[in-house]
Amino acid sequence: MLKAQFFSGLLQQPHLAIVAVDAKYQVSFWNKGAECLFGYTEAEVLGKRLPFLTTDSEYEFQIAYERILQGKAMTFRSQKRNKYGEVLDLFVHAASLYEDDHLLGMSLIFHDTAFLKKATFVPYTLTPFLRESKRTFQELRDVILLSLFKGKMTINQIAHASGINWRTVEKHLTYLIGKKFVREVFSSEYVRIFELDIAGKDYVAEAQAHELSKMINVEKP
């Protein structure tokens, strides 16, 4: 019962806009967060195409759906208008939506960048566009660790994933290696490859759980 309440609470969080669509971008799920973000009620959108979808912006979702058919998820930045004509600067995470082995469509999670810029600890997939200059050393290191959570990376790959200058990445990697959060798994004259050490994996898992716990209010029995 508690687990069901947990996920029910997650899906209906006002700061987490979750939408499900089929292959034709018709809405099959629209939570309270999506209503708060875009202004459309569930009754207005269910069974209809995404209300903010235009001919010019449909290609984003076409690319996302093609990646899903390849078994991949996709995160991208986009601008959409809400019901009142206001332009929203968004990060969109698209993933597959299955029932048993049948692909139903896409799940879409929308994040308003205005809200994310107020957060102390943000998910690695959403960091590339946030300003490096406004982040503390700890925040920069958190972002680097979260980027490496995806797997082995070179310095340039970490810089691209995190939106941090490669020289800054290199400097903080030295610190994180010293703290046993990161280890260097390959080094040559031309490339160096890094991955999370055990302490780094534990830190990221704990940080993500902490951030999620702040977003979700779970009633204990």
DSSP 25: -
* pLDDT attached to residue 142: 86
* pLDDT attached to residue 6: 36
User: Do the Cβ atoms of 109 and 164 come closer than 8 Å?
Assistant: no
User: Nearest CA to 93 among 81, 112, 108, 115?
Assistant: 108
Q: Name beta bridge partners: 76.
A: 92
Q: Name beta bridge partners: 103.
A: 98
Q: Is residue 12 very low, low, confident or very high in pLDDT (cuts 50, 70, 90)?
A: low
Look at phi and psi of residue 110 and say left if phi exceeds 0, alpha if psi is from -120 to 50, else beta.
beta
- Above 50 in pLDDT, residue 17? yes
Distance CA 96, CA 105 (A): 6
Look at phi and psi of residue 86 and say left if phi exceeds 0, alpha if psi is from -120 to 50, else beta.
beta
Distance CA 199, CA 180 (A): 6
Query: How much is the pTM?
Result: 0.51
- Above 70 in pLDDT, residue 66? yes
User: What residue spans define the domains of the chain?
Assistant: 2-116, 124-215
* pLDDT attached to residue 63: 86
Which of 6-20, 26-40, 196-210 shows the lowest per-residue confidence on average (mean pLDDT)?
6-20
Mean pLDDT over all residues of the chain?
A: 78
> Between residues 220 and 79, which one has the greater pLDDT?
79
- Above 60 in pLDDT, residue 221? no
Residues with Cβ within 8 Å of residue 138, at least 6 apart in sequence: none
CATH of 2-116, one of 3.40.605.10, 3.40.50.720, 3.40.50.300, 3.30.450.20: 3.30.450.20
Residues with Cβ within 8 Å of residue 165, at least 6 apart in sequence: 132, 159
* pLDDT attached to residue 89: 84
pLDDT tens string 147-206: 888 789 999 888 887 778 888 899 999 999 999 999 999 888 778 999 999 999 888 877
Helix extents (H) in 29-75: 32-38, 42-45, 58-69
CATH architecture designation of domain 124-215: Orthogonal Bundle (1.10)
**166 three-class SS:** helix
User: Do the Cβ atoms of 212 and 201 come closer than 8 Å?
Assistant: no
